[in-house]
Amino acid sequence: MGFVVTSMLKSNNHTTNFNISSKVLLVLAGCCFSFFYRGSFVIAHSFDGLIPMSYFYPPDDNVLQNTTDNKLLLDGRLHLKANIENLYFNVIKDHYSVSRREELKVSILPSIEFSFTVRDLKFIPIERSVQRSSHPYWEWVVQPGDIRPVASGSGVVQVVFPFALQEINANCTHNGVIEVRLTQSGEFIDGVYQVASETCAYFQFDLVGGVQGEYFPKKIANGRTESGIQKVSDDREITNYTASNFSDDYPEIDIKKLIDLNSQAVTLSGIFIGKKNYILSCQTRAGDFPDCNDVSLPSYSTAKTIYAGIGLMILEKQFPNIRLTKVTDVLPECSVKNWQNVTLNDLINMRTGNYSSKQPNADESSKEMVDFFLAETHAVKVKLACEMFTNKSAPGLNFVYHTSDTYLAGVMMQRLFNKFVEEGDFYQKVFVQGLWKKLSLSPLLNESKRTYDQVNQTFTGWGLTYKARDVVEISRFLFRQLNLEKEKQLLSFSLLQSSLQPGIAPASRKTEQDKLAYNNGVWAIEASDFLDCKKERWIPFMSGYGGISVVMISPELIYYNFSDNGEYRWLTALKELSQYFSVCEVL
């Protein structure tokens, strides 16, 4: 239900495991730093394995309470560059052999440079969405972290913060942690980084190395500082809880049935119940991630709901029947021969009548579609999206999954927005400055992946990055819109209602599988037989490549799982939940 996407294609698939290190590397020097922190690694010349993630965990609260100076570090700018020698690089899976292509430098971090501010021992990067770089393979993202005094009066502090690598022109995301030691006077001492988890079906690896860098103490402009601080505050006001909290609150539920059985493939899984967001798992190959709330998650095809589906509902609310706009009236790139009478709604619903095969995912995994994903410019993407399939049936009938259709829908919505509303970027104006701000979502959603040219077109059907809390808030927003008075609704009620499938009326937009529906970017499954419901029960959900599911059971019950083993086994979790919650009740 996701899509096949690669960054680089290679004819010979090969999986490699190797180290770029020769000796043991880290010396635990607890004697030197035990005053405020239980230990610190002194960085030697080489690395030969993963560092236990527990090393990066924040100190106990009672340790920090002994800190009298909450301004241990001045605001400023940090520039990090990886040491290119003596790395530990262990390739676990490399379906397209990108690690063998030296020109891609996949084992080398990109140059990471960003401004930050400091508040109450919190290290707060100002730029917190995915950042482009000059690296041939990687883009990057940094998240808020902690500042830890090393020793009283030493003037040296440790800064530990999450970061992630994301592939250029793709959504594969590799999560890690960076620790640096700085002085209050502006000296950069040393640093270490580690990557030990990912949401990526075709490229997986462990990476540990040292970093060098520069620290420039500098006051950050008030506007940027306050924006960054407010967002961190919003994140921390949300009630996030752990798996231990869940077991205490619901001892009768078997938590093992809520987590993917192949747990090594899980980046993060959780469940929202009532007002509590329980993150059940966020393990890495070196132990649990320091803070599950800070894991960067790729949207993959959940963007078809979050961006394309909601985007259409917003436009339809403002301009009734805009969904019926013909493709050929807005996209001259698409010929009248294949696209006559195809509408924006047909694109969103993937029922254009243009396809090669109706077999599930046959077109989506075709060579033409791979070329579409690999294309970096809008001119190439739109040409392929318009021309790769020929007309086989009337529009609005046959469902054939094409991410290229959603891309064209994004182009149409951008142009219609500019024509009827205002100039400017549709995603920035409508989502970042509009809906995301209303929902107080994380800055990870402040940008989308885009084409690498002057057009700068958003991918629309994939390419967002977010936190777990973000998808919970978006899901709850969709449910709330169903029950608002008409004048308060932000979305087209008819489109939303037909997408979430409330009630027991026949499901809208069934696919080639009788119990599966897809409408306005939202999937739904008829689960009454599996759950032993007495009446039909259509459950809406979002789905993404590799094993990503966000299951919108009800406004007070939302399950999510982000994994990369190609399996979607959330019905097992739903079955367990049905023993204790009324999942059979229609919305």
Q: What CA–CA distance (Å, rounded) separates 201 from 508?
A: 31
Tokens at residue 328, please? 């050929």
Closest among 214, 179, 173, 181 to 194, alpha carbons compared: 179
Q: Do residues 337 and 391 make contact, with C-beta atoms less than 8 angstroms apart?
A: yes
CA distance 143 to 383: 37
Half-sphere exposure of 530 (CA within 13 A, CB side): 18
- Amino acid identity at 579: Q
Instruction: Name the architecture of domain 301-465.
Output: 3-Layer(aba) Sandwich (3.40)
pLDDT value at residue 425: 98
Report d(CA 147, CA 164) in Å as an integer: 19
Q: b/e map of 109-129 (b: 16 or more CB within 10 Å)?
A: bbebbbbbbbbebbbbbbbbb
Q: Write the pLDDT tens digit of every residue in 30-58.
A: 222 222 233 444 444 578 999 999 999 98
Angle at 288 between CA 285 and CA 290, to 5 degrees: 120
pLDDT for the residue numbered 71: 66
Exposure letters 95-105 (e unless 16+ CB within 10 A, then b): bbbbbeeeebe
**Shortest CA distance to 520 belongs to which of 327, 372, 330, 307?**
307
Q: Using DSSP, state whether 82 is helix, strand or coil.
A: strand
pLDDT digits (tens, 9 = 90+) for 493-544: 999 999 998 765 666 777 878 889 999 999 999 999 999 999 999 999 999 9
Domain boundaries in the chain?
26-226, 301-465
User: Residue 206 carries which side chain, given as an amino acid letter?
Assistant: D
pLDDT < 50 stretches in the chain:
1-44, 223, 225-226, 233-237
Q: What is the predicted pLDDT for the residue at 370?
A: 97
Amino acid in position 308? A
Cβ atoms 304, 216 nearer than 8 A: no
